[in-house]
Each structure stands twice: as C-alpha cells, then as structure tokens.
C-alpha cells in the first residue's frame, strides 16, 4: 500500500508493473490477520522490465515462515536490464529481514534510511505519512492552535473535549482529546511548542470540525504519550498559502483560505442571536486591505471579537496574517474566522515585510476599492472594474467542448465575450432581510417582514438580484445566473429602484430590460456541476461583468492579425 505522498508516482505513470524500485522507508502492519507493507518512500530505479524477475511466493501462504527465504532467480533466456543497478549488499538483507520477518512482535518497522528517532528510540514519522493502517508511530510536531475546553450533553451523556492543530515540515493534522484525556493533556500542550506524540489513534477527519487539508485526524487517548521536544529548529512555526484580496473570487464560497493584510479599521463589539443555539453571540467586523488595492470585510466571533483590541495591543495599522478563514459570497466576497482559524500580528515572514513596505510607501494614500463599493454611482463589486485576463477567454462552444464544470469535486472558471439575448423578468430579484450580513429571504406577515434566520421582523425588506439570462457569441449560447452585485452592474440600478419603476410603470420596467438586450459584455463565469430533479447539469454563474471596451478590443484583434501574418 502506498502512503498518500507517493500518489503522484502513480498519476504520472512512474509506477507500473515490472518497474524496479528501491524501498527506502516503510512500515509493516498486521491488519485483520493480514500482513501489510505501507510504503512511505521509494525510488524508481528503472523503467518497466519485459518480464518479472524470479518467482516470488506469497509470504502469508508459506508453511514455515522461520525457514522462508527470498531468492532472486534469472528468467530463462532473459538478460539483465542494462539500466538496473542492484541494491547495496548491506541494504538488501536489512530490507528483506524487516519486511518479511515477524520477530520481536513489533508491528511498526521503518526502513533504515532517512528516519529520525525520538528520545525513546522510536522512529519519527512525517505527518503526511500517518494513516489508520499504522499501529505504532511517533510524530514530532508543533502546536499551532489550541482550542478552549468545550463541554457537551446529549442522550448518551456528558463529555468534554479540546483540539490542537499540529504542524511539521510535511503537513498539518488536527488532534482531539476527550474526557479523561482532556484532564491529562490540556495543561501539557501549549501553543508554539514542539512535542513528540505517540500511542494515539489515527481516524478519518471530520471535515465539519476542521479546516486543515488532511484526510485524517488524531484522537488522543488516556494511554497516549506526549513529550516536549527541546530541539525544535527543524519544525516550522506555521505554513501559509496566501490569496490576495482581489483573487478571493477564485475561492469557492464556504471554503477556507489564508490572507495577509493591513488592518484598515474595525467596529465596536456588537451582539446577535445565534440561530443554532438561540443564545447571544459577540461579533466584530474588521476592514482589511492589501497591495492589490482591494479591501474586504472580516468578521470575528465570540472571544476573538471581544479580545481583539488586546490582541493587537494598540498597534496602528498592523499587518495581520490569517490562516484558515472562511470565504463567503455575501457582498461579493467577505471573510470570517472559525474557532480553528488563527491570526498573527506582524509576523516575521517575507510577505509581512513586503506588505508593510507597500503600505508605508504608497498604500496609506492609495485609492482602495472594496467589494460592494460605490463606483461611478453604481453599486457593484469592485472586481467589475478590473481587467479580465485575455488568456482565459473561451468561446461558448469551447466551454462545452472542454467540458468545463463537469466535475463534482471542483469548479472551473472562464471568461467569455458575449451579447445579452434575454433576461427573465419574473424571477429577477427577491425580498431579502435588511439585517447586516444576512440577505436571507423574508416573508411578509401582518406586522412586517419576518426573517427566520435573525428571528425578528422588519418594517420593510431590501430587494436583491438573483437573475437568469441568456447570452450568446458566434459559436453558441448558454444560460447564466448572477447575484446582486452583478445584477446592479448589468442593469445600472439597485433591485429596490427597479422594483419602484415596476410598480409605477410596467412599460418603463420592460424598457430597462430592453436597453440591456444586445449589449456586448465580458463575463467572468464559474462553471460547476449540480444535481437538479435527479438530473446532473452544469450551472454557469457570473462572478464579474464588464462592458466591452471596443477600442481596446479592436487593438487586440489587430495584434492577433499581425501575429498570424508573422508566422
């Protein structure tokens, strides 16, 4: 069985039948009375041979394991492959003995090369090599996040838990302690310290509780062993995968990301009623900017919101690095922190120093655009004002021919230059909750408009676009959908303004829609497979829209013609 980190060798075709490899790191486990070797590291030392070497026998069916031996026999009539080099003599017996012997009762044996040892002498595994198939392992990892102790009560009884995020140079994993293990390990594990951890259980990750990109998580038990490590220089402090604010539209809503920003401002702490618990919860909004010239709203919750001013310790416009924050599509894009998210004030990393230099030299006086800002009198996502990348343009026929959006695992993005053919008038907008960060649909009642999410009534709703339109180019046509900011940019007015026109003059309402028909525009779209009425289909959602600049488009065509003439 291959460890996860070796998966690319299969995908790129390096591993195939009769390929010769040198195994440099492995573990041997017994699972359901079967011997399994988990390969942690190997080297491909030859391409596929024309024949299998020798006649190997299954060790599990051998009658006498004590007398079992492995012989390499030449294939009759075959000559040794010119590119195959035999392993070093000292390595072959060691590898065979560890892989095939069942002595010493050790269910986790590791190849002799490139493996560190803990103070107890146990081999240290990288985090990305852990799996539920391993019984004995030790990791050396830094605690990057430690949650508070949480209590629960249900039909099965009461309990408590806390979690930590663990990091080494290979990756990250979440570890959770329950009940008795909480009392034992909560005082021991401290943020930013490095520990040897062993005798714990590896299980499938519960993604609803963790933002880490790991298929597995660790369950700390009462018999687990944790030892602080004094030599921690080889363990990184944190790993980031930063996305700039202007690229947040490339992140799927409800997914997590890392950002590094300048704190431009923040609100006082406010309180809302949680729909899930029906209890009040504290919140605070931050305004963040970066060198892309964009700003975005970040929401903090609970103790993070209450303690924020203490966290920044009076710093004026500090650099803040956020890890594992949730991306929302409200107002174009916005961010919020989980309990498992982290923020670091003025971190000592190159990205932080670069951002500080940008702000001190030019950012403090730069014009900053925001999602949902007013631009030239029209409320729209600031991304609508940016240029779309020419190399990402597709004809609508290419979008279908390349099967964009047909994967359930991910969305595909593309740009299209097309003309608006039709806008559905009946489902153009909906009545939304006027509460901050809500936008849920409200229902009219005798005493006002009721929002189930906020659990309150409002005297009037706000209307938000949720439109469907048909667009076409010379190659074909598709149906697209869009939300409020794109609708405002398309029609040139808010949904409330359009609703007023509709109530006063139906003819003028139709004229507003007619003026859009026939306009050539550049669309940035997301294509994603979805299931509707038990039928799979691709949904095309517009995330960015821009009227065509005919002069610029003409110059681009001239450049293409010149390029063709030079061929």
Per-residue DSSP letters for 322-353?
Answer: EEEEEEE-TTS-EEE--TT-EEEES-SSHHHH
The pLDDT-based confidence of 515 (bands split at 50, 70, 90) is very high
- Same domain (yes/no): 179, 215: yes
Give the whole-angstrom CA distance, residue 163 versus residue 29: 28
- Same domain (yes/no): 407, 545: yes
pLDDT at position 469: 95
- Count of beta carbons in the 10 Å neighbourhood of residue 157: 8
Above 50 in pLDDT, residue 97?
A: no
455, two tokens: 């659990």
* Mean of pLDDT values over 422-444: 88
Considering 195, 228, 261, which residue would you say is the last residue of a domain?
A: 228
pLDDT at position 73: 41
Residue bearing the bigger pLDDT, 112 or 170: 170
Report pLDDT digits (tens) over 336-350.
988 778 888 998 889
The pLDDT-based confidence of 119 (bands split at 50, 70, 90) is low
pLDDT at position 106: 37
CATH no. for residue 519? 2.40.50.140
* Mean of pLDDT values over 446-472: 90
pLDDT at position 276: 59
* Mean of pLDDT values over 418-443: 89
pLDDT at position 120: 59
Does residue 382 fall inside a structural domain?
Answer: no
Above 80 in pLDDT, residue 321?
A: yes
Q: How many CA atoms lie within 13 A of 30 on its CB side?
A: 10
Could you tell me the residue range of the domain that residue 31 belongs to? 4-51
* Mean of pLDDT values over 508-528: 92
Helices of type H across 267-416: 302-306, 308-312, 350-361, 396-401
- Same domain (yes/no): 254, 310: yes
- Same domain (yes/no): 224, 273: no
Considering 193, 228, 263, which residue would you say is the last residue of a domain?
A: 228
Rg (CA), the chain: 30
- Same domain (yes/no): 217, 249: no
Strands 412-423 and 467-473: antiparallel
Give the whole-angstrom CA distance, residue 17 versus residue 32: 27
- Count of beta carbons in the 10 Å neighbourhood of residue 369: 20
Q: How many domains is the chain built from? A: 4
Q: Does the predicted model carry a pTM greater than 0.85?
A: no
Task: Convert 325-357 to b/e letters by CB count within 10 Å (16 or more is b).
Answer: bbbbbbbbbbbbbeebbbbbeebebebbeebbe
pLDDT at position 79: 39
Task: Convert 180-200 to b/e letters by CB count within 10 Å (16 or more is b).
Answer: ebbebbbeebeeeebbbbbeb
- Same domain (yes/no): 413, 545: yes
The pLDDT-based confidence of 523 (bands split at 50, 70, 90) is very high
- Specify the range with the lowest mean pLDDT, choosing from 23-37, 217-231, 465-479, 500-514: 23-37
- Same domain (yes/no): 341, 415: no
Sign of the CA dihedral with 61 first, then 66, 72, and 77 last: negative
Above 80 in pLDDT, residue 111?
A: no
Sign of the CA dihedral with 133 first, then 135, 137, and 142 last: positive
Does residue 412 fall inside a structural domain?
Answer: yes
- Same domain (yes/no): 334, 222: no
CA angle 147, 148, 151 (to 5 degrees): 120
Does residue 103 fall inside a structural domain?
Answer: no
- Same domain (yes/no): 155, 191: yes
Does residue 336 fall inside a structural domain?
Answer: yes
- 3-class secondary structure, 554: helix
């Amino acid at each position: 069985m291959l460890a996860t980190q070796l998966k690319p060798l299969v995908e790129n075709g390096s591993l195939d039948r009769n390929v010769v490899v040198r195994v440099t790191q492995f573990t041997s486990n017994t699972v359901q009375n079967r011997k399994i070797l988990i390969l942690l590291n190997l080297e491909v030392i030859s391409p596929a041979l024309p024949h299998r070497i020798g006649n190997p026998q299954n060790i599990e069916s051998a009658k006498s394991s004590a007398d079992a031996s492995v012989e390499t026999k030449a294939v009759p009539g075959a000559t040794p492959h010119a590119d195959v080099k035999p392993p070093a003599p000292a390595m072959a017996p060691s590898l065979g003995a560890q892989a095939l012997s069942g002595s010493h009762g050790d269910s986790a044996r590791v190849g002799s090369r490139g493996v560190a040892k803990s103070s107890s002498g146990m081999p240290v595994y990288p985090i990305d090599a852990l799996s539920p198939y391993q019984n004995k392992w030790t990791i050396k990892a830094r605690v990057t996040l430690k949650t508070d102790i949480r209590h629960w009560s249900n039909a099965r009884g009461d309990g408590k838990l806390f979690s930590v995020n663990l990091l080494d140079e290979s990756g990250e994993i979440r570890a959770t302690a329950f009940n008795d293990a909480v009392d034992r390990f909560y005082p021991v594990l401290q943020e930013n310290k490095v520990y040897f951890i062993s005798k714990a259980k590896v299980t499938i990750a519960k993604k609803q509780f963790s933002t880490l990109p790991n298929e597995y998580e660790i369950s700390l038990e009462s018999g687990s062993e944790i030892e602080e490590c004094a030599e921690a220089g080889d363990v990184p402090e944190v790993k980031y995968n930063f996305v700039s604010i202007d690229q947040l539209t490339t992140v799927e809503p409800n997914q997590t990301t890392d950002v590094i920003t300048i704190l431009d401002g923040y609100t006082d702490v406010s309180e809302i009623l949680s729909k899930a618990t029906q209890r009040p919860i504290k919140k605070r909004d931050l305004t963040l900017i970066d060198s892309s010239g964009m700003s975005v709203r970040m929401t903090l919750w609970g103790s993070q919101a209450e303690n924020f001013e203490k966290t920044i310790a009076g710093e004026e416009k500090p650099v803040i690095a956020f890890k594992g924050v949730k991306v929302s599509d409200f107002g174009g894009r916005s961010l919020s922190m989980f309990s498992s998210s982290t923020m670091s004030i003025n971190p000592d990393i190159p990205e932080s120093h670069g951002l500080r230099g940008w702000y001190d030299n030019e950012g403090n006086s730069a014009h900053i655009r925001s999602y949902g800002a007013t631009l030239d009198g029209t409320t729209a996502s600031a991304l609508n004002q940016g240029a779309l990348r020419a190399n990402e343009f597709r004809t609508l026929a290419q979008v279908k021919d390349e099967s964009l959006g047909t994967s359930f695992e991910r969305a595909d993005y593309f740009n299209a230059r097309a003309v608006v053919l039709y806008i559905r008038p009946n489902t153009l907008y909906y009545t939304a909750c006027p509460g901050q960060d809500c936008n849920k649909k409200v229902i009219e009642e005798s005493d006002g408009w009721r929002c189930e999410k906020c659990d309150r009534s409002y005297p009037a709703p706000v209307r938000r676009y949720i439109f469907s339109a048909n667009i076409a180019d010379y190659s074909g046509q598709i149906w697209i959908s869009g939300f409020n900011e794109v609708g405002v940019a398309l029609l040139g007015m808010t949904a409330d303004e359009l609703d007023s026109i509709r109530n006063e003059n139906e003819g003028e309402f139709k004229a507003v829609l007619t003026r859009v028909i026939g306009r050539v525009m550049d669309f940035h779209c997301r294509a994603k497979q979805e299931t509707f009425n038990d039928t799979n289909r691709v949904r095309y959602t517009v995330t960015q829209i821009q009227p065509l600049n005919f002069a610029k488009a003409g110059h681009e065509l001239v450049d293409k013609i010149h390029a063709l003439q030079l061929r």
